[in-house]
Amino acid sequence: MSSAMLELILEATLDTLYMVGVAGLIAAAAGIPLGVLLYVTRPGQILANPVTQKVLAIVTNVGRSIPFIILMVAIIPFTRLIAGSSIGTNAAIVPLTIAAIPFVARLVEGALNEVPPGLIEAAQSMGATPYQIITKVLLPEAKGGIINGMTITVVTLISYSAMAGAVGGGGLGDLGIRYGYNRFDPVVMLITVAILVVMVQGFQSIGDHLVRKADHK
Amino acid sequence: MIRLENVSKTYGSGAHAIQALKHVDLHVPKGSIHGVIGLSGAGKSTLIRCVNLLERPSTGSVQVDGEELTQLNGQSLNHARHQIGMIFQHFNLLASRSVYDNIALPLELVGMSKAAIQERVMPLLDLTGLADKADKYPAELSGGQKQRVAIARALASRPKVLLCDEATSALDPQTTGSILELLKDINQQLGLTILLITHEMEVVKTICHRVGLISDGELVEEADVGDFFTAPKTQLGREFLNNFLELEPPQALVERLEATPNEHSHPVVRLAFGGAAVATPLVSRLARECGVDVSILQAKVESIQGRTLGLMIAELIGDTNDTRKALEYLENHDLKVEVLGHVQRNA
């Protein structure tokens, strides 16, 4: 294999990590608060608010029901506004993030749902404010579940990022399709798939390790 | 210290409304341990949650240390809650925090410095016998140890009142005993007022000064514990007591009991006696003074809060006149007499 090809593979790997990393971080920053909001505004919860909860739930569900490839194309004007261009790696990050935020939010909501309600009651009996209940009880107690959710998100983003080639996003999936599939080069195809497998395994192991560290159960 | 007046709580509305509490009046004086006992679904949990407004009463007044809590909201309510500790049946410890950090939580909430927190937490670890467990996590502790952590946590903010929600119901009898001892110590050492709810007479017997009986959302009976255990006023109270004492007549006898006497039957009675009557040689006196024979079917002596309580189920054997005299004699000597029924004389 030529050194030019190796360079291409290396570049594609870094592109994938970059897209997944940035999209994952922004999705966590937006999705975790959204997940918390979805949870605390439920009926009977510490900040129960049926209207807010309903609106958030609908927005989240809509976000999650649009197929990624369609979302990517549909939000091109928005992507151009944010990234300054509708093609390239940076441009691919926008739809990846948009797709991941509601995904993270639902996983976080699910993780919070696992926190025993008695803990919230105990915190209330101590005179904790809703903000204190979120920061001192809900998030720490759900930490393992949230890390688990983020791991699932990152793995999903890796697979979504393969579609980013459609907007010239680069990355391993794009390389695999252009060189491996379109040019019938089974070696490149196999290498890109192998790298993706290793990447997913790696993130899953790191995630599992962090979950074990976070959980004292 | 705690005063509930005319507290009612209704869930839902219209045809689906469920009245969990009905016009409850409750007063717990400073430094006392007050128990509320009742069956599942009687409203115990709702009652205790109304004291710190985890449940907001539909109507009525809730005062703790002279402060009307139902008027409070948000911050002022949170402030008042710092004065009210609470422990729970399932402990409700944070799994993500060590024992030390669990106890520190209520102090973190009020923004206390790390050094000040340590000064508070260390003596509490000693008081609750957890000094060597400070760095453990709840998952590594036994049920009794978890409840000790919860007690230490509830005491950290130096509350005036401690609410115990079925605090020993998830524990085995031996651990229950040690937790009750701890609560008793805390009551005596710190003068802390304790309100507890339970379905276990053992808990009431061991640590309470006064007890209320709740049934279907109503406080149907209230008495000093000694009185409640000698002479409950309600049918439900008697059922709780008899179940606790396991003093029921033998089944074979129950089947032969008749409600009304005739000239060939004699009474079966349940006798409860406290105080001086305990020391009286009762059976032989009945034989001598009334001419009846006493056949003891069951008997036991319990010690409750330093008072001795004797209980007996017996047949009074003699002719109708003599047994009536015997019953009068018993009532005149400060005994609680309950005629369970009459059995036919053996032919």
> Which of B47-56, B85-94, B262-271 is least confident?
B262-271
Phi, psi angle pair for B133, to nearest 5°: -110, 5
Alpha-carbon span B267 to B269, nearest angstrom: 6
Average pLDDT, chain B: 90
The residue of chain B with its CA nearest to that of A120 is B92
Decide if A39 contacts A113 (C-beta within 8 A). yes
For residue B147, which residues of chain A lie inside 8 Å, CB to CB? Answer: none
Selected residue of B86, B92, B166 to mutate for chain A interface (largest A Cβ count, 10 A)? B92
The Cα–Cα gap between A95 and A85 comes to 13
Nearest to A125 among B86, B95, B137 (CB): B86
Average model confidence (pLDDT) across chain A: 92
Distance CA A211, CA B84 (A): 35
- Average of per-residue pLDDT across B76-89: 95
Query: What token pair was written down for B329?
Result: 């004699």
Residues of B within 8 A of A46 (CB-CB) are none
- Is B109 in CB contact (< 8 Å) with chain A? yes
Cβ <8 Å between A119 and B92: yes
Tell whether A124 is covered by a domain: yes
Count of beta carbons in the 10 Å neighbourhood of residue A76? 15
> Which amino acid is present at A163?
M
Nearest Cα residue in chain B from A118: B92
Q: Which residues of A touch B82 (CB under 8 A)?
A: 126-127
pLDDT at residue number B59: 94
Residue A166: the pLDDT is 65
With tokens 């009020």, the residue in question is B110
Helix/strand/coil for B231: coil
Which of A121, A129, A140 is nearest residue B94 as measured by Cβ atoms? A140
Mean pLDDT, rounded, for A44-58: 95
Residue B229: the pLDDT is 85
Q: Does A45 touch chain B (CB under 8 A)?
A: no
DSSP codes of every residue in B4-59: EEEEEEEES-GGG-EEEEEEEEEEE-TT-EEEEEE-TTSSHHHHHHHHTTSS--SE
A214 CB neighbours in chain B (<8 A) are: 96
Q: Select from A122, A127, A141 the Cβ nearest to the Cβ of B88.
A: A122
Per-residue pLDDT tens digits for B268-324: 888 887 766 677 787 888 888 888 888 888 888 888 777 788 888 888 888 888 888
Residue A30 identity: A
H/E element, A157 = helix A143-161
Inform me whether the pLDDT recorded for B133 exceeds 90.
yes
Domain region containing A59: 16-170
- Overall number of domains in chain A: 1
Which chain A positions have a beta carbon within 8 Å of B95's beta carbon?
A: 141, 215-217
- A122, A136, A216: residue with CB nearest B95: A216
- Closest residue in B to A132 (Cα–Cα): B109
Q: What is the least distance, in Å, from the CA of B101 to any CA of chain A?
A: 11
**What count of CB pairs under 8 Å joins A to B?**
68
Q: Say whether A137 and B109 touch across the interface (CB within 8 A).
A: no
> Using the beta-carbon criterion (under 8 Å), do B92 and A128 form an inter-chain contact?
no
Average pLDDT of the segment spanning B190-215: 94
Mutation for B interface: A120, A125, A146, most B CBs within 10 A? A125
Q: Closest CB to A127: pick one of B88, B109, B137.
A: B109
Q: Compare all CA atoms of chain B with the CA of A137 and give the residue at the minimum distance.
A: B94
The reported pLDDT for the residue numbered B319 is 84
Judge whether A216 is closer than 8 Å to chain B, CB to CB. yes
- The per-residue pLDDT for B242 is 82
Mutating which of A120, A126, A129 best tests the B interface, going by the most B Cβ atoms within 10 A?
A: A126
Per CB-CB distance under 8 Å, the chain A contacts of B97 are 140
Model confidence at B55: pLDDT above 60: yes
Partner A contacted by B67 (CB < 8 A): no
A128 to chain B, any CB pair closer than 8 A? The answer is yes
Distance of residue A116 Cα from the nearest chain B Cα, in angstroms: 8
Kindly list the distances between the CA atom of residue A14 and the CA atoms of A8, A20, A171, B66, B114, in Å, as whole numbers in the listed order.
Answer: 10, 10, 7, 67, 44
- Asked if the structure places residue A130 within a domain, the reply is yes
DSSP H helices in chain B? 44-51, 74-81, 99-109, 114-127, 143-155, 173-190, 201-207, 225-230, 235-245, 251-256, 282-285, 320-332
Which whole number is the average pLDDT over B184-196?
Answer: 95
| Confidence band, pLDDT 50/70/90 cuts, at residue A205 | very high
Per the domain annotation, does A44 fall within a domain? Answer: yes
Three-state DSSP class for residue B98: coil
Contacts of A128 in chain B (CB under 8 A): 78, 109
**Mean pLDDT of the A10-26 span:** 95
What is the pTM for the complete model shown?
0.86
- Which residue in this structure is represented by tokens 């739930």? A57
pLDDT for position A216: 78
A127/B contact by beta carbon, under 8 A: yes
Banded model confidence at residue B262, pLDDT cuts 50, 70, 90: confident
Q: What is the pLDDT of residue A3?
A: 87
Q: Return the residue of B nearest to A127 by Cα.
A: B78
* Fold classification of B2-231 (topology level): Rossmann fold (3.40.50)
Strands B193-198 vs B210-215: parallel, antiparallel or unpaired: unpaired
Residue B142: helix, strand or coil by DSSP? coil
Provide the shortest C-alpha distance from residue A60 to chain B (in Å): 29
Q: Per the CB < 8 Å rule, is B157 touching A126?
A: yes
List the helix and strand counts (H, then E) for chain A. 11, 0
- Per the CB < 8 Å rule, is A216 touching B139? yes
| Residue A188 within any structural domain of the chain | no
Question: Percent of chain B scored above 70 by pLDDT?
Answer: 98
Q: Which helix (H) or strand (E) holds A210?
A: helix A186-214
What ipTM was assigned to the predicted interfaces of this complex? 0.88
Query: Is CATH 3.30.70.260 what the domain over B246-344 is classified as, yes or no?
Result: yes
Residue A175 lies in a domain: no
In this structure, chain A runs to a length of 217
Indicate yes or no: CB of A126 within 8 angstroms of CB of B80.
no
The answer to the question of residue A109 being in a domain is: yes
- Position B23 pLDDT exceeds 80: yes
CATH number for the domain that contains residue A115: 1.10.3720.10
User: Is some CB atom of chain A closer than 8 A to the CB atom of B267?
Assistant: no
Domain(s) labelled CATH 3.30.70.260 in chain B stretch across 246-344
Q: What is the pLDDT of residue B347?
A: 43
- Tell me the per-residue pLDDT of A119-148, one tens digit each, with 9 for 90 and over: 999 999 999 999 999 999 999 999 999 999
B269 sits in which H/E element: strand B265-274
Q: In chain B, where does the domain assigned CATH 3.40.50.300 lie?
A: 2-231
User: Residue B346's pLDDT band (boundaries 50, 70, 90)?
Assistant: low
